[in-house]
Structure 1
Amino acid sequence: MSGEAPMQGLIDAAKNGQLSVSFNDNLYVNAEEFVYIERDCQAMKDQIKEYQRIAQSISNREVWGLGDRSDWIQSAPVLVGRFRSKAKGGGNDVHSILQKHWDIIDGIQQLHREIANRYQQSDAEFAAKYNDLMASVPQGFQGKK
């Protein structure tokens, strides 16, 4: 990956009106689904941040109770070091992996926002329904970035 955010190409295409999908007669674009995706993506991102805080607190824990403060248990500090690095540190740790998941969900959320914006610009009925639904989404989910 070249440092570009996940899905950035699709997000840019949606912003520029270059993203298209072929629909059949049985498909209906539903404003509620866009609002649900927004709400659920934000809830997932919030939960991931909570898990990252837990991983950070594990990494920062001072006392482990595994004998790591005893001179006679030589393996305890090594074990504690591994726990700390698996919680946060080294790139292949819980915190970093969760960040990759957060980035992907954020990309999905941004993509759906852009698509919803395009629909709002071209469909007054969709825009009215979408805005009404977004106004009733629980506080904390409305356009939170």
Structure 2
Amino acid sequence: MADTPLAPLITEAKNGSLTVRMDPEEFAKIEYECQAFKATIVQIQKKIEGVSQLQTWGFGDHDGSQLTSATTMADRFRKKSKGQEDGNDFHTVLQEHWNAVEDIRMLHVAIRDRFIAEDESFAARFTTESERLDQLPGAH
């Protein structure tokens, strides 16, 4: 795991030194929603990647155009969608969001796993809710 703002909390959760109160059903919902959000981010990134690969934008950026700034603008749009040198492009920023959601998910996984290891009733309720959520339309 990379060094992230949540890394110390994840370590505390794994060690059992973090105190949290939550129903097992809530842990299942957090897992489900984190996975769904990450999948949505990936879908958007794929669309943005397509934008970054557009060859002609249709606003005068074609060969032989007299609008000399159009090619520059098209290049800026491509880079802003993906590939800007300073990392301030949509694809990279969305990846940072994906990473943050994964950190939140991992924190909850560490806490959940400690509960499951220590409480059979908790484990059974978590499993039941996870299975229910997996049956929902559009489940990942």
Name the structure with the higher helix share: 2
Return the alpha-carbon distance in structure 2 between the equivalents of residues 128 and 56 of structure 1: 42
What is residue 39 of structure 1 aligned with on the other side?
32
Of 130, 133, 138, 1:137 maps to 133
What is the TM-score of this pair, normalised by structure 2? 0.87
Return the alpha-carbon distance in structure 2 between the equivalents of residues 76 and 63 of structure 1: 10
What is residue 94 of structure 2 aligned with on the other side?
98
Matched, 1:49 2:30: no
Q: Is the 8 A contact 1:52 1:95 kept in 2?
A: yes
Return the alpha-carbon distance in structure 1 between the equivalents of residues 57 and 75 of structure 2: 11
Shift of 1:18: 2.4
Of 68, 73, 79, 2:73 maps to 79
Identity of matched residues, %: 38
- What RMSD, in angstroms, separates the aligned Cα atoms of the two structures? 1.7
What is the TM-score of this pair, normalised by structure 1? 0.84
Q: How does 1:19-34 map to 2 (within 5 A)?
A: 19-21=18-20, 29-34=22-27
What is residue 18 of structure 1 aligned with on the other side?
17
What is residue 52 of structure 2 aligned with on the other side?
59
Shift of 1:6: 4.4
AA partner of residue 81 (structure 1):
D
Shift of 1:106: 0.4
Structure 1, unpaired ranges of 5+: 22-27
